[in-house]
Amino acid sequence: MYAELNGLRMFYEDRSSSDPTGVIVFLHGFPLDHSIWRHQLDYFSTSYRCIAPDLRGFGASSELKKPAEPTPLTVDTFAADIVALLEHLHIKSANFVGLSMGGYIALAIWRRLATRKLVRRLIFSNTRAAGDTPETKANRKRQAELVKTQGTRPYADEMLPRLLAPENIERCGNEVRHMIERTHPDTIVATLEALAARKDMTDWLRRVQVKTLVIAGEKDVISPPSDSELIAREVDSGKLVVIPNAGHLTPLEQPDAFNEAMYAFLR
Ligand code: MLT
């Protein structure tokens, strides 16, 4: 389905049982799209209304305008799009699950007083609250240059072994590569800049007043379990689950364990 909002045509999946217990909004990571949640959509749409958008510029949502508008693109831009989508769908309260960048966006929605009431519960998957280190910023700059000059394929080559645990590359690699390679280079470059510019949100964690689940992948090298431990420690009612044999894309790599943890938390 598509919604026209904030100057873009946003694609989203909206799947539901006939009598849903509540709403879950699934926010994908970078540089991916809503299909990273396909196992969760199958599982949770039997009892919840599940909304899974493609963020601005990603998947089937419209490409970024040139130059990127609004300029610069920020995590708050993505958050504002999600809030507009929920307004469009007349949804007043939802559980938010965010994978990595999706977690930054969920926290940004919580951070804004005006949109805080939307958030019923939070699930942070494979994410972190800290901003980029100087090394990460420099690496993003190098990656942006790589994508600008050589396109998305070498970027996908570089990212795949970082996104997935070694044992899951054969099973999940092709679909993740497809998501990365079909993302417009301009979207990747603008988002790398947005991620490098984001602020440290650790202080905000203490102000989170909704029940929160934190899920980590045991073998995540991008947001290692220590990042999730910090979130669970800082958030008052934070609960941590570390999933074995998973890298950065835990919902795709170990869907059964992920779904069980999420189900037990939401129940
Ligand atoms: C993601 O999966 O969304 C990215 O790893 C986020 C990031 O690079 O900070």
In terms of Cα–Cα distance, which of 95, 132, 124, 133 is closest to 233? 124
Specify which residues 204 forms β-bridges with: none
Q: How confident is the model at residue 68, as a pLDDT?
A: 60
Does the beta carbon of 118 sit less than 6 angstroms from any atom of ligand 1? no
Does the beta carbon of 29 sit less than 6 angstroms from any atom of ligand 1? yes
In tens digits, the chain (267 residues) has pLDDT values of: 999 999 999 999 999 988 999 999 999 999 999 999 999 999 999 999 999 999 999 999 998 876 566 678 999 999 999 999 999 999 999 999 999 999 999 999 999 878 889 999 999 999 999 999 999 999 999 999 999 999 999 999 999 999 999 999 999 999 999 999 999 999 999 999 999 999 999 999 999 999 999 999 999 999 999 999 999 999 988 899 999 999 999 999 999 999 999 999 999
Q: How far is the CA of 236 from the centre of ligand 1 (A)?
A: 24
Does the beta carbon of 83 sit less than 6 angstroms from any atom of ligand 1? no
CB atoms within 10 A of CB 215: 29
Q: How confident is the model at residue 67, as a pLDDT?
A: 58
Does the beta carbon of 195 sit less than 6 angstroms from any atom of ligand 1? yes
User: Is 103 buried (19+), middle (13-18) or exposed (0-12) by CB count in 10 A?
Assistant: buried
Q: How confident is the model at residue 224, as a pLDDT?
A: 98
Domains of the chain (ranges, CATH numbers): 2-131+200-266 (3.40.50.1820)
In terms of Cα–Cα distance, which of 258, 261, 238 is closest to 249? 258
Give dist(CA 38, CA 60) in Å, integer. 15
**Terminal alpha carbon distance of the chain:** 28
Q: How confident is the model at residue 116, as a pLDDT?
A: 85
CB atoms within 10 A of CB 117: 9
Q: How confident is the model at residue 69, as a pLDDT?
A: 64
Q: How far is the CA of 183 from the centre of ligand 1 (A)?
A: 14
